[in-house]
Each structure stands twice: as structure tokens, then as C-alpha cells.
Chain A
Amino acid sequence: MTAAVAEGGRQGWRRPAPLVARIVRMEIRHSTFVWGLPLLAVLFIFDPFRTASAYPDLWPLRATVVLNKFWPDCVPFTAGFSAWAGSREGRRRVFDLLATTARPAWTRQLCSFAGTLAWVLAAFGAGAAAVYAKTATEATWGGPPVWPVVAGAVALTAVSAVAFTLGALLPGRFTAPIVAVGIMVVVLEAFREAVSMSGGPIGVLSPAGAVPPNDSGLFYSLAPDVSIVQVIFFAGATLGAIGLLGLSPRTGGVGWRGALAATSAGGARLRTVATAVFAAGVALAVVGFGLAGTAKGSVIGGTEIPLLHGSAADRPIPYTPVCGGGASFPVCLHPAYQSYLGQAVKSFDLIMPGLAGLPGAPVRAVEVADRALPAIVFGQGGDGVVVGTPPVYEFTMDNALALIPDPALFADGFEQDIAHLVIVGPIGRMVPVPGGGGDEFQPDTGNLAQQAVLDGLLKAIGSQAYPGNQSPRIAAAAARFAALPAATRHAWLVANLAALKSGHVTLPQIP
């Protein structure tokens, strides 16, 4: 054979993939996780995707669906199928048959784990991509947050690793469903802890949690502290589970005593690696848990971890407001809410002609961060306050825009809030609780005459009456006031607003 022939023969020759890669590919092809994909897809469409589509088109808000909705949906499937894959050799009683394989049992098990994990992460990634793709077509400001996807992927990896290891250590026909349900219960309780805002480490470590306010991540950047701690903890749990798998005699390892004995079987390198991986995992998990225990509320909302919190995270994000409305009453919003500008302008355009020129009536409206408003306003469901000279209506979209937006409620909310501020004043005040025990909110709905004028103004523009104003006498006076021509109403208010606000106008005196 000449050199030319040998060269020609090599042209068609391809270097085979490494053995481990071929085993992983084979495991991916034969993974039973495929059985769960159709059901997971149905769940995804009806739960996370539909929920995200209904939320306001804000990147930070919609991204929460990835962890709050899709992640818990993935957990039982991930845990069940991972435990199933892990228990395979024990379930089929083929330990003796596999004892002579060229690679250690740990390598073999890790290939099986990788095959299942590949499907889990592919499914999770596809779901997150679908939510983000939908948001990208609708959002007017910002970009896709990466941390929820990273934290979710690492947490699912940990769920898969723990379930796989439990399956390998306790093989049996009941292992998979029991492990799936067990992990599901743990996730549910951690979620409950997170929603209760107890501030404990378990709640902080739960990837699924409460839905943040609309403004979250718009005026101030979201600090990744909690996500980093979750990644640390779940990476530790993953390594701990994998290390345990390598050490366990059930899966070909040398056990605890063997790990510490220099002369035990199983290979010194394998023993060292498994022990090191386990120790590193436990250390990471402990560090993550400890860091989660130091969590505290952030001044800009959310949770911060002091050791990880950078001062840059609390700086406001620069933005150029988008403005609309006429020159008589401009309305400016954060660019993320651009799609709601038209509705906001329409709402103000209806109410402001009746209030324009009155003492204390604002000349423009500007959206601000919820934290820029008095705590009482945001905390008690108000939309904004009138401040400065000339007066400006500063409002937040947190309370104005519901999680599932309703255009009618959105418009009515602004109209009620701004009319109340001009006719009655602030929505209420905090008063000390008799006998001690802190302060409580005391709403200020105004006297009967103020309520009637307020409701009359709202009724005249077709808005709902101010919440709490239910008396028939007030309703009758409001109807009378609403029936007046707009110019007459405005002239009466110009002449009588000071007396009305000071309580010197009675219900019969309202025209």
C-alpha cells in the first residue's frame, strides 16, 4: 500500500467522539423524560405563558413568571424522571453485570444523569425563551433579565441531582413517585415561606416567590444578590449530591470509611475526586444558606444580601420619559409604560377640565418611583400626591395598573385619585392606635358635601363613585351636581372650593 492510498483512506475517516460523549448522547436519546414533555408543554401554555401574556408588558415583571410559575411546573417532572433514571441499575438488578465495565460506576451514573439533565434544561430553556420572545415583541423598554433563568436552571440541576442520587441509593419501583412528591412538597413549603415574607433563609432560597410591584427593576436596577445566593446554594446541593453518588457503595463507590482509608478499593483518584466534590458541595450549600440568613429588606424594594450588595445597585437607572397629552395638562410616564400612555392621557383629559384652575389643582402629571411617594400613599392603595408650585401630580403605576390590567379600572383609578386630592385632600393619615401598639391608617373620605361634590365630578365624566361613598343622600346630591352644565359646575367650584375644603359647605348647599 502506497502513502497515497493510505492518505485516500484517511479522507473518509472521522475521529470518533469520546466515549463519555457517546454514552451521554445515547442516554439523551433513551431518556424517559420525553414522556413528560407533552404534559409539560400543555402546563406551560396554560400556566406560565398565559400568565406572562396577561401581565403588563414589562421585562422584570414578566420574567418573574419563569421562576414563579414555570420552575415549579418543571420540578415534579424533573424530580420524578431523574429519580427514575438514577434507580435504573438497581431496579433492573444489573450491578453484577455492570461491575466489569471499563469505566467506574460513577462515570456511568453521571452520564445517565447528564442525559436526563439535558432534557430538563432544554425544556426549561425553551419555556423561558418562549416567554422572553413574547415579551420582546411587546415591551417598550429594557431587556431580558438573565438571573431568573440562571437561578432557575441551577435550581433545577440541583433538583435533578438530588432526585437522581436518591433514586440510585434507594432503587425501587416506588422511588420515583415518592421522590417527585417529596421534593414537590418541599418546594411548596419553601414557596409558602417566601410569600409570607418571613425573611428566613428558606424563603430567600426558594426560587419561586411573591410577584413584585410593577415598578420593580424600572427605576432602580434589580440587585442580583438573592439570585447569586440561590446559585451558590443550589450549586452546592448539586455537587453534594454528585459527590455522595460517587462515594456510595451502592453505586460502586467506597463509602464513608473507604473515602477516608488510603488502602481501600475503588481507585485513589476517584475516591479523592468524589470526596472533594462532596466536601465542596456541602461547603457551598452551607455558605449559601448562611448568606441567605443575612438577607434584609432593601431601601429600593426587594431583598438584599449585605455581603454581596454593591452600592451601584441602589443608583437610579437613567431614562427619558415619554410624554403625551395637550399643553394644558402634559402627562409623562417611564418609557417602559409607553403602551399605557394613551390610556393615561385619556383618563386625565376627562377629569382635568373640571379641576383646572382650582386651588391646588395640578398642571401636569409625572410618573415617579413608588418609593419617591409617601409610604402611606403606596401602602394604602393611592396612586399619587400633588406636590410643588406650580402643583404637579406625581403618581406611581404600581397601584394604578393591576397585575392583570383592566383599562376601565385603570382610568377610574386616576380620576378618583386626582379628584379626591383636589376636592378632599390626602387619602388619609396614620394615627396612633389607642392604648399603644403603633399607628394605623385612618382614611379621609371627606365630609358629606365633599363626598357629594367628588362623586358628582366623577359621575359627570362617567367614572365610578369614590370607593366608600355609599349614602343615598350623597348619591342624590352627586347626581344633582353632575347634572349641572360643566361651566356652572366649574364656576361653583372656583367660588366655593376653599369653603368646601374647610367644611363650611353642607350637603343641601350643593347646587
Chain B
Amino acid sequence: MSAADSASVTRARHVAPSAAAGSAWLAGAHLTWLHLRSRQVPAALAALAGCAVVLWSALTYHWWHGASQAGTELPMIIEGCAAAIIAVTAHNPFGEPERATGRWLPFLRLGTALALCGAAIGLLALGAAAAYDPQASVYLGTGVLGVAENVMGFAGIGLITSLVTGGLLAWTGPLGYMAVCQFALVANYSEPLTWAARPATDRGGWITAMVVFAFGLAAFAIRGPRVRPSGE
């Protein structure tokens, strides 16, 4: 080996790790993007933005007023819709073979679900903020706290449902539970299990919602949605 060769090797030793790291980051980003696309996350974000627009127009055009019972009913439906959208992104279009692709899959599932929950809360809060006009009694009665509690709790139910029904039918969980909470709201029930019918500042409701969300998120990240023979 000549001195020139030696210098070349030394330079290579210095350069190669950073290039490899860059390429690893690129590969990671590419993998994440492919994962998000396979779950139709861009479409989900568009649908969540649609929910925010509905919330904004409902507030602006007085579909309901203030913080009364009726003021909680419609936001809860929209939050249920957002959670159902998040739950449906759980669907894995590749079936069983995807489980053999590496150790990053649980982290990708976890990150996707968390990011979508954050996006849903943020977009709905944005919709409510855009319409905010307390002088005209136009405001979200439950506040952002209520939005966060319901979106995360409902999404937790959706993720748990995906373990049983598969991703595509996971919307049945949040929507069914939301229907129960609507009844609880109208009937003035106040059980922690129907947390969405309780005030947004209620500690019992928050604990229940967060336990459901944490359990759903962990189980979904580790196990993934059920893959049915039909592919659905």
C-alpha cells in the first residue's frame, strides 16, 4: 500500500460514517414516508382538515350555541369522526408479510397514531379558534381540553377495535362508543366510562380516557391490526 493509498483509506474512514449516517436518515425518512402512504395518512390529514372546517362552520353559522348540552353534542360527533379516521389508518394493505419486514414497524405504528392524534387535536382547535367570538356566544363549550380528551380516548377505542376487526372496520368502535356517549349526554349520565359526557375538566373522565388511549396505543403498536383472510 502506498502513502497515497493509505491517505485515501484514512479519508474514507473519516468520510464514510457521515455518508452512511446521511443515507440511513434518508432511508429512514423514505421508510416513514412509505409507511404513511400505505396507511393513506395524507388523505387522513385532508379528512381531519375537513372535520375542522365542519367544526368552524358549525360554530360560525350557529349550528349550536355556547356550553349547554347541545353545545357538547355536535363537537363530540366531529371528534368521534376524527378518531374514526385515525382508527381506519391502522389498516395494513400488505397483510401478514409486512410483519416480517423489521423491527421498526411497531415504532412506525406508534408514531403514526400519535402524530395523527396530535394533528386532529391541532386542526380541530384551529377550527374552533378561527370561529371564536365570545361576544356572539360563538365558542367551543368544552374548550381544547375536551377536544384532546375525546379525540385521544375515542382513538384509543378505535385502535383497540382494530385489533379485533381489522383496520378498515375499526371505525365502528369510536362511532359506536360515541353513540353511547351521546345517549349518556342526553340522559345526564355521569359515569367515568362515558367520559365524553362529563365536563372536560373532570379528572375521572381524563384518567379513563388516557388509560384507554395508552392501552390501545400500546397494544396496537405491539400487535398491529388484525389481518383478515379477505385482506380487510
Q: Which residue of A lies closest to B54 (CB)?
A: A185
CA separation between A181 and B89, bound complex, in Å? 17
Interchain CB contact under 8 A, B78 and A181: yes
Interchain CB contact under 8 A, A42 and B180: yes
B144 within 8 A of A: no
Interchain CB contact under 8 A, B183 and A46: yes
Interchain CB contact under 8 A, A36 and B176: yes
A84 within 8 A of B: yes
Residues B162-181 near A (CB distance < 8 A): 165, 167-169, 171-172, 174-176, 179-180
Name the A residues within 8 Å of B183 (CB-CB).
Answer: 43, 46-47, 73
13 contacts between A and B (CB under 8 A): A35-B165, A42-B180, A76-B176, A77-B176, A92-B231, A173-B167, A173-B168, A174-B47, A177-B85, A177-B175, A180-B171, A185-B54, A188-B73
Q: Which residue of A lies closest to B44 (CB)?
A: A174
Name the B residues within 8 Å of A36 (CB-CB).
Answer: 172, 176
Q: Mark A165-185, 1 if CB is under 8 A from B, else 0.
A: 000000011101110110011
Interchain CB contact under 8 A, B172 and A181: no
CA separation between A177 and B44, bound complex, in Å? 12
Name the A residues within 8 Å of B171 (CB-CB).
Answer: 80, 176-177, 180
A192 within 8 A of B: yes
Q: Which residue of A lies closest to B90 (CB)?
A: A173
B74 within 8 A of A: yes
CA separation between A188 and B63, bound complex, in Å? 10
Q: For B175, give its contact among A181, A185, A189, A192 (CB under 8 Å).
A: A181
- Give, as a whole number of angstroms, the nearest-CB distance from B90 to chain A: 10
CA separation between A84 and B170, bound complex, in Å? 12
Q: Which residue of A lies closest to B39 (CB)?
A: A173
Q: Mark A299-343, 1 if CB is under 8 A from B, else 0.
A: 000000000000000000000000000000000000000000000
Q: Which residue of B lies closest to A181 (CB)?
A: B81
Q: Interface SS of chain A: helix, strand, loop or mixed?
A: helix
Name the A residues within 8 Å of B81 (CB-CB).
Answer: 177-178, 181
Residues on B facing A (Cβ under 8 Å): 40, 43-44, 47, 50, 54, 63-64, 70, 73-74, 77-78, 80-81, 84-85, 88-89, 91, 165, 167-169, 171-172, 174-176, 179-180, 183, 187, 231-232
Interchain CB contact under 8 A, A178 and B85: yes
Interchain CB contact under 8 A, A181 and B77: yes
A39 within 8 A of B: yes
Given known A-B contacts A36-B172, A76-B179, A177 and B187 have beta carbons under 8 A apart: no
Q: Which residue of B lies closest to A46 (CB)?
A: B183
Given known A-B contacts A73-B179, A76-B179, A177 and B54 have beta carbons under 8 A apart: no
CA separation between A395 and B74, bound complex, in Å? 40
Residues A179-213 near B (CB distance < 8 A): 180-181, 184-185, 188-189, 192
Name the B residues within 8 Å of A91 (CB-CB).
Answer: 168, 232
Residues A11-54 near B (CB distance < 8 A): 32, 35-36, 39, 42-43, 46-47
- Give, as a whole number of angstroms, the nearest-CB distance from A39 to chain B: 4
Interchain CB contact under 8 A, B165 and A174: no
Q: Which residue of B lies closest to A32 (CB)?
A: B169
Interchain CB contact under 8 A, B176 and A173: no
Interchain CB contact under 8 A, B231 and A173: no
Interchain CB contact under 8 A, B169 and A35: yes
CA separation between A463 and B66, bound complex, in Å? 39
Residues A61-87 near B (CB distance < 8 A): 73, 76-77, 80, 84
- Give, as a whole number of angstroms, the nearest-CB distance from A74 to chain B: 10
Most buried by B among A35, A181, A188, A192: A181
- Give, as a whole number of angstroms, the nearest-CB distance from B106 to chain A: 21
Interchain CB contact under 8 A, B187 and A47: yes
Known: A172-B40, A185-B54, A189-B63. 8 other contacts (CB 8 A): A43-B183, A46-B187, A47-B187, A76-B179, A84-B169, A91-B232, A177-B81, A180-B171
- Give, as a whole number of angstroms, the nearest-CB distance from B55 to chain A: 11
- Give, as a whole number of angstroms, the nearest-CB distance from A101 to chain B: 19
CA separation between A47 and B186, bound complex, in Å? 10
Q: Which residue of B lies closest to A39 (CB)?
A: B176
Name the A residues within 8 Å of B80 (CB-CB).
Answer: 181
CA separation between A404 and B169, bound complex, in Å? 39
Name the A residues within 8 Å of B179 (CB-CB).
Answer: 39, 43, 73, 76-77
Interchain CB contact under 8 A, B169 and A174: no
Interchain CB contact under 8 A, A185 and B77: yes
Interchain CB contact under 8 A, A188 and B74: yes
Q: Which residue of B lies closest to A173 (CB)?
A: B88
CA separation between A84 and B179, bound complex, in Å? 18
Q: Which residue of A lies closest to B178 (CB)?
A: A76
CA separation between A184 and B78, bound complex, in Å? 10
Q: Which residue of A lies closest to B230 (CB)?
A: A92
Q: For A76, give its contact among B73, B175, B232 (CB under 8 Å).
A: B175
Interchain CB contact under 8 A, A39 and B47: no
Name the B residues within 8 Å of A177 (CB-CB).
Answer: 81, 84-85, 88, 171, 174-175
Interchain CB contact under 8 A, B70 and A192: yes
CA separation between A192 and B68, bound complex, in Å? 14
Q: Which residue of A lies closest to B88 (CB)?
A: A173
Q: Which residue of A lies closest to B83 (CB)?
A: A177
- Give, as a whole number of angstroms, the nearest-CB distance from B230 to chain A: 8
Q: Which residue of A lies closest to B73 (CB)?
A: A188
Interchain CB contact under 8 A, B74 and A174: no
Name the A residues within 8 Å of B43 (CB-CB).
Answer: 172, 174
Q: Which residue of A lies closest to B167 (CB)?
A: A173
Interchain CB contact under 8 A, B40 and A173: yes
Most buried by A among B44, B77, B78: B77
Name the B residues within 8 Å of A188 (CB-CB).
Answer: 73-74, 77
Interchain CB contact under 8 A, B175 and A80: yes
Interchain CB contact under 8 A, A173 and B91: yes
Name the B residues within 8 Å of A47 (CB-CB).
Answer: 183, 187
Given known A-B contacts A80-B172, A84-B169, A174 and B77 have beta carbons under 8 A apart: no
Name the A residues within 8 Å of B91 (CB-CB).
Answer: 173
CA separation between A434 and B186, bound complex, in Å? 39
